[in-house]
Structure 1
Amino acid sequence: MMLEQNLRDLEESRNREREHSQQLHSLRSELEAEKAYLVDQNEACMDAYRKIDCIDQDAKSARSALFSAETEVRRLRDEYHRLEEGSRSEINALKDSHQAELNGKLSRISQLEAEFHTELRKREAELTEGKRSHEIAAQQAEAKLEGLRNENTRLMVAKEGREAELRTAHDKLRQIGGLTNLQSKPRERRARLRATDGTKLDVEPANQSRPRSTAGSTSSETPSSQTRFVDTVGYSSISYPLELGIKPAMKRSSAIESFKAPVTRSSDTEDPAARTRRTSTGANRPPLKDAPANRIPSSFRWMYLFHHPMRLKYQILGWSLNILSMRMRSLRARVFLALITMGMALES
């Protein structure tokens, strides 16, 4: 029971380790998504910088326009000095018109510079806020990842402890003499071959299979402490001494009853022909002469099946499965094949 509990604990720890590995994978994918998001934000910032460059180019063009305007002003001033001798009123009119044009261009330049600085401060604030939020998210993800690493380390340590406990228990069982190889004992191999459904227990005295001398044993020991049983329920074939208190997982109450007392071998009472028929077919079937007399003639059944091709196909498949089940000693395999046959019969 302790071994089964340790195995279950080990399986649970492996499941938890698998879940934590999946969580690590999901966190890694989230970090990749965050990285992609940061790359997108960087591209957006680069777009903003490109827009700022465009605005700067506009400002430069405006400055060049201003420079050209100043050049024009200088030219006009030269012209003014040249025409100063002429009509002063005409000169003042030209001066006022050019000054108004110059003031408009200067106001446009100031407006563009104000918009440029406003947009620049806005983008810088957005970039700072986004960087801060992403740093906080990255720190939280790092903390979660560190916690999962610690949990994974703890689970690995627990797993190693469980494996050490299992190895210790296994060594103790080997020291007591509990684990033996079924294939190395002809008597137990014959008992396994006689098991027809895979769940039968053959109980035999331990002093016949392997004699042991116990220092503290007396003549008042119970028969159960001197009895060993062979577990052939699953795929394992392990013989345990009953004094350890370890029992296999039995599926039927008859197996428990057979555990309480030595099993009477059916090979001592039945005739050889019946034993041959039982071992070849895998079940205690009645002879052919015991079949009911009022069965439907085979010719009618074949006529019915040939008029229904799907039924004929399922009938042939069912016969094939029955032939396969005759060679199977495991009760699980027989039940599985019987369920498949019933399902096909219901479908047909």
Structure 2
Amino acid sequence: MSKSEPLLRVTDLEKYYYENDTLIDSLLGNEAQSVKAVDGVSFEVQEGETLGLVGESGCGKSTTSETVLRLREATGGTVEFDGENVFEMDKAELKAFRRNAQIVFQDPFSSLDPRMTIGEIVTESLRIHGIADREERQVRAAELLERVGLSASQIDRYPHEFSGGQRQRIGIARAIALDPEFIVLDEPVSALDVSVQAQVLNLLGDLQDEFGLTYLFVAHDLSVVRHISDRVAVMYLGEIVETGPVDEIFENPQHPYTQALLESVPRPSVEEYGRRGDVLEGDVPSPRNPPSGCRFHTRCPYATEACKAESPPAHEHGPQHEATCFRLDGDHDYWESEPLSHAEESVAEETVAQGDD
């Protein structure tokens, strides 16, 4: 792979779930519906960097990350890892891909098998790939536990004997056991206490420096994202609405949704509110029936009829900084269009009560 080429390239990724599409539903006359969890997502991750993927719960962040790793089969689009199309890999190629691409799951309690010892959990991938014998794997497990801040003497204990932060360290040790190039971090600190979050984030940063790791960091906590990310992609209702360097996104956000997300972050002083945009109101529309045009128009304070009619193109605001909003490109149709009255517009759409994040 050329150094100028990204390690991971995602293009027009789609993941739909279908309802009422069985034979019985057909006989009963139930109309099939698609839930567009991920709808046309594109981004790149350069070798050695951390891309933060952020958005509200239910926007499709975790579904995107799992589909990228082929833990879920995609509906459409492509994912290229080190120049190879992941979706076209056969069984042997996919197994080799999994040595280079790992994941740390959000829930440190359900992601570890309670019937396995910590040593067995950490070395399971080594066993599956036929790496080393049993004794060598035990030595490797002890080294990994020490590296993530645990004791090698704990190798024969079971997950229930550890705290949440310790369990997440075990999940990280499992993820780096095969010396991967790329790791998906799916909300790895959201279930942890604040003090423990900082320790785990520092550990992830140290491991990245030591092993040259590349991260896709999925989160909804913006302060965490700013601490660890090099670039940020902001996701709303299955689509990416803004991408850019982390400081640009936080200091100069362009999309109204990004501005509203940043405005919702708690601050020590009341005077600091209102600097970036309006506080976000309303519920996320259902991915079963997403709004026409710009999907954010039902909640956007700047929306016009033009926003309702068609999807805005990506507009480049600066180096590697893009946002999809008509307000940014001086589109004539947008400025001539009448403001959209949200009070008059129907808001009876089904909202996401429990989104597939």
User: Do both share a fold (TM > 0.5)?
Assistant: no
Is the radius of gyration larger for structure 1 or structure 2? 1
Structure number with higher strand proportion: 2
Q: Output the TM-score relative to the length of structure 2.
A: 0.21
Instruction: Using CA pairs under 8 Å that are at least 6 residues apart, name the structure with larger relative contact order, 1 or 2.
Output: 2
Structure number with higher helix proportion: 1
